[in-house]
A and B are shown apart, each in its own frame.
Chain A
Amino acid sequence: MGKEFLGEFEELVLTLVAGLQDDAYGAAIAEEIEQRLKRDVTLSAVHVTLYRLEDKGYIKSKTGGATKERGGRRKRIYSVTSAGMAMLKTMKNARIDLWKLVPQLKMS
């Protein structure tokens, strides 16, 4: 996978896009991060990251449905491309490999 690599936040967003599937759009991802990780995140940061991932070719987007809650504005639904999936897998494996290097402490 060459020299391409992802930042921590990018990886997070990419994983969530993969996880949320048909419900992966900016506001939902931000909410998910806030709820699951208890981490303050701004909408703009999520959006910028999404665009960057799209530029890199890991995700693709299509316009989705509008809801009343959104004032009738359409969503942009993101989905992971195969390149994105491969990237996620490589990263996961790399993490596991690295984790194996850590001496495992015996918990009593």
Chain B
Amino acid sequence: MDKRFTSLPGWAGRFLRCICPDDLYEEIEGDLIQHFNRNVSRIGYHKSYIRLCLAVLRFFRPGILFRNRLTPGYNSFDLVSNDLRLAFRQLNRNRMFSLLNIAGLSISIAVVLLIVVYTSFHYSFDKKHQHFGYTYRVYERNYEGAALTFESALTNYEVASILKNEYPEVKNCTQLMPTDSWFDCALRFDRENGAVVHNERKLFFADQQFFEIFAAEAIAGDLNNALTKPFSVVLTRSAANRYFDDGNPIGKVLHLKGSFEENNYEVTAVIEDLPANTHLDFEILMSLRSLEMNQGTGNNDFYTYITVERDVDVAALEKKLSFLSVPTILDASQRVEHRLQAVKDIHLYSNLQDEMQPGADAEVIYFLIAIGIVIISIAWINYVNLSISRIFERARQVGIRKVTGATKSRIVGQFFTESVVINLLSLGVAVALVRLAMPLFQELLGIQFSWNGLADLGWHNPAVYILLILGLGVMLSALYPSRVLAALNPIQVLKGKSLANNKGSFFGGSLITFQFTCSIVLAIAVIVIHEQYSFMQNKKLGVDIDQMLIVKAPSDTDSTYQNRFMAFKNYASMNLQVKNISTSTSVPGENIEWTGRISNPLSRLTCNGHIQVADTGYFQSYNIQLLHGRNFNLADYPGEKFGQKTEPVILNEKAAEMLGFASLEDAIDKTILWENNRCTVVGVVGNYHQQPLKSSFKPIVYTANSGPLMSIKLARNSEKDFHNLIVMLEKAWQKFFPNNAFDFFYLPDFYKSHYRAERNMRTVIDIISALALVTSCLGLLGISSVAAKRRLKEVTVRKVLGAGWTDVVYLLSKKIIVLICVSVLIAVPLALIQCVHWLGRYAFHIDLRIWHFTLPVALVVLISFFTIMSQCWKVFMNGSINVLKSE
């Protein structure tokens, strides 16, 4: 057997041809073959074959590669400009085709860009801090026996010192203590013309290390040692503006009056307001050491952050942390485990109890990304489909070009140029659309952001995505049509033979099916989301929040406070528009921050109960149903100290159920333990939605006392006079409680604000889905119009021979109808799975019904049917004689 080559093995030849300049190829190939053949006789076939392969691969080197003409010499410049001219000529000749493509592409690119902007914003959270990659938050997992009861972002105060002393991996550690569980927290600044007082909700106690871990920029004062000394305070710009009109705030003294701390604090620094993209949410930081002095650090009330060295194995550290135990009053059955979470992940992935502010939902972001991908693929598919359906028109042109000497690569190049032109034009329109839509978009999603802020984010930079989209678009949309057309046999084409291309029509068909599947799934999702939201908005809350005005009680509580409070209550009640007034620690719609361990000594069941202080009028003014037992009366209020007597409490249904009482009546007069205090259940009230419907009912324990929030129930027709009423109340307030801020909000508005994020998200999904549907209809319009045009003569002949309108419709639409049916079959189960998954996240949700699926399917089918129909009508109404005469 002659083991000598007369040419290179296939792959080697192709590889070489790819990398070598044409004029050098023959010589190189010859040398390689000769070399190989001489080697065979010396060292044998296999060895020389391996050497040949290596030798071929070694031609992949700059000295050879750069010998290919890279810079557009005058020749290739000519070619490019010729391609461009051809592309624009094509665009101009088929205005309908170009318009459909550019419209579809620009809409979808605009949507994708908006989604990119939105998701980049959410991924940018907490990436500004110096060591964000090495900063972790310590959180707690609380176990009751083996069962996980709750996870909290807050830890014990002692955790910090233990971490610092016993864990060498921990480089730095800081703690923040929130004050939102305090009943009162007011700041006062005394100046010559009266005092400025505000209730502060975003006031935290922190240590100096905070500024070493988190980024902050001083605009006045010095951040070094700003929180080292006790009784110093750092303000953000907006907080400082509340108290000091102008001039230097440094060194001024603010008086803090809170439930657990009262003292004078000296301003040491003012920092810039926090950016929108951080999970931190504070306006005022006070030095933690001021609390250490009065023993105010006993509670589990601390956000603990640590930074570690670069090379620390965090998983191992977390394992080590599970042995960390802090001296707290724990039952033998209770266990607390400490875990770590990366600060940069908190916003998207953390959903613990006591978060500083609610984060975003990673699933929503993924959903949006998925929609973005779907909508842009729909647009590209349109392009591909339209190009394929126009193969017949283009085939002759390609044939002529080939006959006159165009190579395959020239034809491919031409189609790529066309694709580049269309994609670039669409991108231009899309960027203009984004700029127009941006204000609306920001308002809808409630985000504030700047392009500059995003530009710092490296690969999250939108410009990167724009290039990526453009590149991908050109590649994907030009690849298939150009390959099909370039492979055409010019002789066949020019002879006018039909292009029976079954493979192509299958490809196009599956693309159409994909498009319709996406549109139908989106349409079903829209319907289900709509139903769920209207269900949530119309559901009876179990509590009457109408006409409710909430006023924060004064923080200035001295011995005369109770009397003054009663006096104000009486005074306000005299107004005809005020129906009644009650007080409590939190109001429906608010998250109850105060929790405690409730146990039933009989059933040995415990729960982490939400504690709510309610006065005697609370249940009546909110119209909360008392199911069994009695309401509180004044004698139920605790004495000098809570826990001196057996304190009466009222449970809600859920708490009674979780504590294991046989029935609701059974709970009455039973004794339960709240931490270590003995309490008697005097009543059971119905469940109501304290929180948005996403979460299930929580166990609530009511204890009798007057609380810091005043709920003022207004008469039914008070809206007209609302403003006067507020003015009147504020005047009275200033009389009874001078130097106290009059803080109020209207409860129905507050309640609605909970659903704002979801309502806005719904609007966004509506718009995007509508656009997706429009885009796929644009595609359908294009395809059916091309198909109709191509079969114009056939239809006309049939018409002349007596075919009716229905026959024509059947003829033109039967293929697409089949495709739509297939899409329905794929889309409905897909949508079903998705909807069940999504609804499962809501504690209270609608049941899926058949019409949730049939309606959107019918809608999509109808819309596409009309699209096709309009094209059929056009063909049908065409004058037969003109068509038949035309050739």
Contacts and interface: CB of A to CB of B under 8 A. Distances in A.
A51 B5 contact: no
Given A30-B35, A71-B7, A48 B63 contact: yes
Interface in B17-36: 24, 26-35
Contacts, number: 75
Interface stretch (B53-61, B313-321, B388-396, B799-807): B53-61
A52 B62 CA distance: 12
A38 interface: no
Contact of B55 (A25, A44, A52, A69): A44
B30 A44 contact: no
B57 to A, nearest CB: 9
Contacts of B34: 27, 67, 69-70
Interface stretch (A16-24, A72-80, A97-105): A72-80
Contact of A26 (B31, B54, B58, B61): B31
Contacts of A76: 24, 27
Counting chain B CB atoms within 10 Å of each CB, the highest count among A30, A31, A48, A67 belongs to A48
A73 B38 CA distance: 15
A101 B657 CA distance: 106
A66 interface: yes
Given A44-B55, A51-B67, A71-B6, A25 B26 contact: no
Nearest to B59: A44
Interface in A21-80: 25-27, 30-31, 42-45, 47-48, 51-52, 63, 66-67, 69-76
Given A69-B37, A72-B6, A27 B58 contact: no
A43 to B, nearest CB: 5
Interface string B42-78: 0000000000001100110101100100000000000
Given A27-B31, A48-B61, A51-B67, A71 B26 contact: no
Most chain B CB within a 10 A radius of its CB, from A25, A45, A52, A76: A76
A2 B190 CA distance: 87
A47 B55 contact: no
A74 B67 contact: no
A75 B67 contact: no
Interface residues of A, number: 24
Contacts of B59: 43-44, 47
A35 to B, nearest CB: 11
B272 to A, nearest CB: 59
Contact of A75 (B24, B30, B38, B54): B30
Contacts of B37: 69
Contacts of B29: 71, 73
Contacts of B54: 42
Nearest to B55: A43
A70 B33 contact: yes
Which of the listed residues B24, B35, B55 has the most CB atoms from chain A within 10 Å of its own CB? B35
Contacts of A26: 27-28, 31
A6 B776 CA distance: 64
A100 B258 CA distance: 97
Nearest to A27: B31
A73 B58 contact: no
Interface residues on B, range: 20 to 34
A40 B730 CA distance: 97
A27 B35 contact: yes
A33 to B, nearest CB: 12
B61 A73 contact: no
Contacts of A47: 24, 28, 31, 59, 63-64
Nearest to A73: B30
Contacts of A31: 35, 38
Given A47-B64, A48-B64, A51-B67, A74 B35 contact: no
B35 A73 contact: no
A31 B6 CA distance: 20
A93 to B, nearest CB: 29
A88 B7 CA distance: 36
Interface hub of A66, A69, A73 (most chain B Cβ within 10 A): A73
Contacts of B7: 71
Contacts of A69: 33-34, 37-38
A89 B821 CA distance: 84
B342 to A, nearest CB: 49
A17 to B, nearest CB: 14
A71 B64 CA distance: 22
Nearest to A77: B27
Contact of A52 (B33, B61, B63): B63
A108 to B, nearest CB: 42
Contact of B26 (A30, A44, A73): A73
A73 B67 CA distance: 21
A100 B58 CA distance: 40
A75 B6 contact: no
B27 to A, nearest CB: 4
A51 B63 contact: yes
Contact of B27 (A30, A44, A52, A73): A73
Contacts of A63: 27
A75 B30 CA distance: 7
Nearest to A63: B27
Given A48-B61, A51-B63, A71-B5, A42 B31 contact: no
A40 B514 CA distance: 57
Interface string B267-308: 000000000000000000000000000000000000000000
A74 B38 CA distance: 17
Given A31-B38, A69-B37, A43 B27 contact: no
Contacts of A30: 31, 35
Contacts of A48: 61, 63-64
A69 B54 CA distance: 20
Contacts of A27: 30-32, 34-35
A71 B30 contact: yes
B33 A71 contact: yes
B31 A66 contact: no
Contact of A43 (B26, B31, B63): B31
Contacts of B55: 42-44
A75 B32 contact: no
Q: Which of A31, A44, A51, A63 has the most CB of B within 10 A?
A: A44
A66 B30 contact: yes
Closest 7 pairs (CB-CB, A-B): A73-B30, A48-B63, A27-B31, A70-B30, A71-B6, A76-B27, A26-B31
22 contacts: A26-B31, A27-B30, A31-B35, A43-B55, A43-B58, A43-B59, A44-B61, A44-B63, A44-B64, A47-B24, A47-B28, A47-B31, A48-B61, A51-B67, A52-B63, A67-B34, A69-B37, A71-B5, A71-B6, A73-B30, A74-B30, A76-B27
Given A44-B61, A73-B30, 13 more contacts: A26-B31, A42-B58, A44-B55, A45-B58, A47-B63, A67-B34, A69-B33, A69-B37, A70-B33, A71-B29, A72-B6, A75-B27, A75-B30
